[in-house]
A = this chain, B = another copy of it.
Amino acid sequence: MPLTTDARGVFPIAPTPFLDDGRIDAASIDRLTDFYLGIGATGITVLGQLGEAPKLEHAESVAVARQMIRRAPQLPVVVGVSAPGFAAMRALTQEVMAAGAAGVMIAPPNTLRTDEQIVGYYRQAVEAIGADVPFVIQDYPLTFSVVMTPAVIRRIVQDNASCVMLKHEDWPGLDKISALRGFERDGSMRHISILTGNGGLFLDFEMERGADGAMTGYCFPDMLADVVRLSAAGSRDAAHDLFDAHLPLIRYEQQQGIGLAARKYVLMKRGVIASEAQRKPGAKLAPAARAEVDYLLSRLARIDSRARIS
Which A residues contact B (CB, under 8 angstroms)? 53-58, 60, 83-88, 91, 110, 113-117, 120, 124, 127, 146-149, 151-152, 171-172, 174-175, 178, 201-202, 204-205, 208-209, 237, 240, 244, 247-248, 251-252, 254-259, 280-281, 286, 288-289, 292, 299
Contact = CB atoms under 8 A, between A and B. Distances in A.
Residue of A85, A117, A146, A289 contacting most chain B CB atoms (<10 Å): A85
Nearest to A121: B281
Nearest to A56: B87
A200 to B, nearest CB: 11
11 contacts: A53-B85, A54-B86, A54-B87, A86-B280, A113-B146, A171-B256, A175-B286, A178-B286, A202-B251, A205-B252, A209-B288
A148 to B, nearest CB: 8
Contacts of A281: 86, 120, 124
A38 to B, nearest CB: 29
Q: How many copies does the complex hold?
A: 4
B248 A84 contact: no
Contact of A57 (B87, B148, B202, B209): B87
Q: Which 3 A-B pairs have the closest CB atoms?
A: A54-B85, A172-B255, A113-B147
Contact of A147 (B114, B124, B240, B292): B114
A291 B88 CA distance: 35
A163 B25 CA distance: 34
Contacts of A257: 172
A188 B1 CA distance: 47
B88 A172 contact: no
A224 to B, nearest CB: 16
A239 to B, nearest CB: 12
Contacts of A116: 149, 151
A274 to B, nearest CB: 21
Nearest to A146: B113
A85 B56 contact: yes
A203 to B, nearest CB: 11
Nearest to A286: B175
A57 B110 contact: no
Contacts of A171: 254-256
A32 to B, nearest CB: 20
Given A172-B254, A255-B172, A240 B299 contact: yes
A244 B208 CA distance: 22
A35 B204 CA distance: 32
B240 A127 contact: no
B85 A289 contact: no
Contacts of A205: 252, 292
